Amino acid sequence: MSDKPRVTLTAGTTIIPVGGSVTLTCSVQSSDGWKYEWFRRTQTTSEVQIRDQQNRDIRVSQGGIYSCRGRRGNPVYYTDISYEVTIKITISNKVVVKQQPNWPQIFRGETITLTCEVQEGGETTEWEYEWRGPSTPTQWTHNNDVTFRVSESSSGDYMCKSRRRDDSYSSTEWSEAFTLSGSTGQPKAQITSHMRDMPVGGSVTLTCSVNPSSSSEWKYYWYRDENSSEPLTTQDAVFHSNGQISVSQEGLYRCRGGRGNPVYYTEDSQSVRIDQKAAPEPENSSFVTPLIVGLVCGVLLIFLLLLLCRFKQSKDSFFVRLVKISPLLY
């Protein structure tokens, strides 16, 4: 153990605010007449003496690892060097946590990415990132994002801050907290149809939706028949925007929504049966058929009357001739 007097280094605060400085104090226990030497180093640079600083108190505005020692007399007598104090500086760049995909409602089981974005000129600087949150790394990392599956344990507040890779003692302030709360329960798709009976040669339009989320977030998958696990394709139906399709085949239809990567699926909707409407009878058939029969009967009646008249005329002519030739017979 050294018999030299004890020297102590203290700091008013170890984090320098934006545009500010901190006071460091070096003191030798229970003695006077000392002058002081100050030293600074970093994790990547060796220790150097801070010139023109001999006072007991100094103000610094640069991050780094500081130490000091006392000296007095001639020849000079030195104390041991103090314990080191790490000073960090806060830089002015703002950081913000952003969520991708930026959906207004997140369900447990979906996969999301949180990104720590440095604003105000941070694009030209290489950064490291530190996170605070239930599902984030606890060490500084070069990755500015974290990706995870939303669960009950991942719900909570997330914050981040950044520092320059070439200066590990200069960092931003912590971002504002981003609160993640995954909705419980799996959403269920809803199916609607403007009609259930499909006209001959026609089609029926079906609509699939997921509430209360925006329809633009979801891609919709359609199925025909209860046991089918293969979604319909463009060969089976005509696909429209906003979750609508037009079908021209009978069957039991259902749908579900999916979004994200990997895809998160909703529950299947209820099923809707589409039936083919029977072909209608020709219009006015009850009127046309008797008319045709009446016309045929009328023509036949006229034809028979003409034949009867013709027969009567022939008969009359025969009796006239018979009367004329009867005297000649006697």
Q: Among 6-20, 104-118, 127-141, 309-323, which is the least confidently predicted range?
A: 309-323
Q: Considering 90, 117, 132, which residue would you say is the last residue of a domain?
A: 90
Average pLDDT for 134-163? 91
Question: Per the domain annotation, does 318 fall within a domain?
Answer: no
Residue 137, in any domain of the structure: yes
Ramachandran sector of residue 166 (left: φ over 0; alpha: ψ -120 to 50; beta: rest): alpha
pLDDT at residue 166, rounded to an integer: 86
What CATH number is given to the structural domain containing 267?
Answer: 2.60.40.10
Structure tokens at 57: 């108190």
Residue 330 has pLDDT above 50, yes or no: no
The domain boundary residue, chosen from 90, 122, 153: 90
Total count of domains within the chain = 3
Place of tokens 């016309």: 295
Longest pairwise C-alpha distance within the chain: 200
pLDDT tens digits along 54-73: 899 999 999 999 999 999 99
Per-residue confidence at 173, pLDDT binned at 50, 70, 90?
very high
Look at the chain and count its residues.
Answer: 330
Segment (H or E) for 319: helix 285-325
The DSSP call for residue 241 is S
pLDDT for position 216: 73
User: Collapsing DSSP states into helix, strand and coil, what is residue 273?
Assistant: strand
Reply yes or no on whether the pLDDT at 288 is more than 60. no
pLDDT, tens digit (0-9, with 9 covering 90-100), for 196-240: 888 888 899 999 999 866 667 899 999 998 888 899 999 999 999
Residue 315 is assigned to a structural domain of this protein: no
Q: What is the pLDDT of residues 247-273, one digit of tens each?
A: 999 999 999 999 999 999 999 999 999
Flag whether the pTM goes above 0.85. Answer: no
Contact assessment for residue 191 and residue 273, using Cβ atoms and an 8 Å cutoff? no
**H or E, element range at 164:** strand 156-164
Give yes or no for a cis peptide into 101 (omega within 30° of 0). Answer: yes
CA distance 83 to 93: 31
What pLDDT was estimated at residue 197? 87
On whether both 160 and 216 belong to a single domain, the answer is no
CB 247 within 8 A of CB 253: yes
Half-sphere exposure of 169 (CA within 13 A, CB side): 20
Q: Which structural domain, as residue segments, surrounds residue 215?
A: 189-276
